[in-house]
Amino acid sequence: MESFEPLQRFLPQVWFFILGLFLFLYVLLDGFDLGVGILSLTASSETRRSILMTSLGNVWDANETWLVLMGGSLFGAFPLAYATILNALYIPLVIMVVGLILRAVSFEFRENANNKLVWNLAFGVGSFLAALGQGFALGSVFEGIRVDEAGHFAGSPWDWLTWRTVLVALTLIQGYVLIGSAYLIVKTTGEIQKTYYRTATIATWTTLLGAVFITISTPIMSEQARSQLFSPPLFYVFAAIPLLGLLLVALLLRSLRRREENSPLVYTFLIFALSFIGLGFMIFPNIIPPSVTIYEAAASPSSLVFMLTFIGFLIPVILSYNIYNYVVFRGKIVVQETAAEEAKVPEPV
């Protein structure tokens, strides 16, 4: 491993960062998307559900596309990791893909259906399954994937299912519900908004609980994590992250109590960002924890340079037009009373 040239070290690091960015944007953006989907299961009326769906109408597609970006780029930049991880996580990924399909399709079918019940349910359940599959996948990567000397998957098909991955999956779902609630606070008003202040508060506490459990159990369970954590330079990073995290959670809870509209979403974003930085430091320089490094799994330097030339240059462009999309559709969703509704008002006797 020591024999890698500076360029052969630098390029995989750049790509590790880019992939981290894609994954982060995916988790953030499709996170609120999936969160709203899960919350739609609890929506008390069809009107409310329509508002939830409308809030996603123009963005769900682009949000989901970050996952495809991430998949394609992982394939190109770290073919070995793409092959081994996806092979190892077959079942959770099938769950995720089925969930995402169900969700996307119900979204369109619901628009056209008279009986919306089936598609409402499929949408909510699909969102839940997608989040669950992702949680298991994330948990398994975190836990480590058993590989042979060539870096190929050498574990069993059920390796992904342990009590720790269950914990990660449940926490991720809570995190998605939190970010979904924060998004809905921005997009709604009145009674509906109140509901989501409440779910955001609950989800903050449950996410925190899960995160604390994961943070504490990681060094206890994994020797590698222990040696990573307690070596000098990173020790300060890992000490700072939980403290900053707690501070942000406190700020988030305060903003929710004060009924602020935009800051809960900002704090939630920051909490996610912080967790991601922690996760990144934890895994680096591996890409298939615990044993295959980014240098071993990387494509050839010429491939990485070629990809970087095009994709690297495009990242700011992609971010700009994504932001433009949000700017065009900024603002709250209100229900306009229609003529049919007014006609039903009983006439004064």
Partner 1 sequence: MFLDTVTLSRLQFALTAMFHMLWPVLTTGMSIYLVVIEGLWLKTRNLDYYRHARFWSKIYVLNFGLGVASGLPMAFQFGMNWAPFSEAVGDFFGTILGFEGTMAFMLEASFLGIMLFGWERVPPVIHWISTILVAFGSNLSTFWILTANSWLQTPAGGMFVDGKFVVRDYLQAIFNPFMVNSFLHMFFATLETSLFVIGGISAWYILKRRHSEFFSRSFKVALVMALVVAPLQVFIGHLSAEQVYRYQPAKLAAMEAQWETLPAGERADWSLFALPNEREERNEWEVKIPGALGYLLEFKPRLDRPVQGLKAWDPQNRPHMIGLIYYSFRTMVAIGFFMAGLVGATLIQWLRGKLSAEALPQQKWLMWAWVFAGPLGYIAVEAGWIVRCVGRQPWIVYGQLRTAEAASPLPPGEVLFSLVGLTALYTVFFVAALYFGSRIIRKGPNLELAAPVPATQPVIVIEPARHEPDRRPAEAR
Cα–Cα distance list, 340 to 11, 21, 44 (Å): 62, 48, 22
Residue whose CB is less far from partner 1, 206 or 325: 325
Binding mask 132-171 for partner 1 (x = CB under 8 A): --------------------xx---x--------------
Residue whose CB is less far from partner 1, 178 or 292: 292
By CB under 8 A, the residues from 97 to 136 that bind partner 1 are 97-98, 100-105, 107-109, 111-113, 116
Q: How far is the CB of 73 from partner 1 (least distance, A)?
A: 4
By CB under 8 A, the residues from 262 to 301 that bind partner 1 are 299-300
By CB under 8 A, the residues from 37 to 56 that bind partner 1 are 45-47, 49-51, 54
Q: How far is the CB of 255 from partner 1 (least distance, A)?
A: 23
What is the secondary structure of 134-152 as a DSSP string?
HHHHHHHHHH---B-TTS-
The dihedral sign for the CA sequence 77, 79, 84, 87: positive
Q: How far is the CB of 97 from partner 1 (least distance, A)?
A: 5
Longest CA pairwise span in the chain (Å): 91
Tell me the C-alpha distance between 335 and 317, whole Å: 34
Q: If binding means CB under 8 A, how many residues of this protein chain bind partner 1?
A: 85
| Exposed e or buried b per residue across 73-89, where buried means at least 16 C-beta atoms within 10 angstroms of its C-beta | bbebbbebbbbbbeebb
- Tell me whether the omega of the peptide bond preceding residue 285 falls within 30 degrees of 0, making it cis: yes
Contact stretch for partner 1 (CB under 8 A) within 91-99, 176-184, 224-232, 249-257: 91-99
What three-state secondary structure class fits 157? coil
CA 170 to chain centre: 13
By CB under 8 A, the residues from 170 to 199 that bind partner 1 are none
What three-state secondary structure class fits 346? coil
By CB under 8 A, the residues from 313 to 332 that bind partner 1 are 314-315, 318, 321-322, 324-325, 328-332
Tell me the C-alpha distance between 240 and 333, whole Å: 39
Residue whose CB is less far from partner 1, 68 or 240: 68
What three-state secondary structure class fits 347? coil
Q: How far is the CB of 205 from partner 1 (least distance, A)?
A: 31
Residue type, 145: I
Binding mask 4-43 for partner 1 (x = CB under 8 A): ----------------------------------------
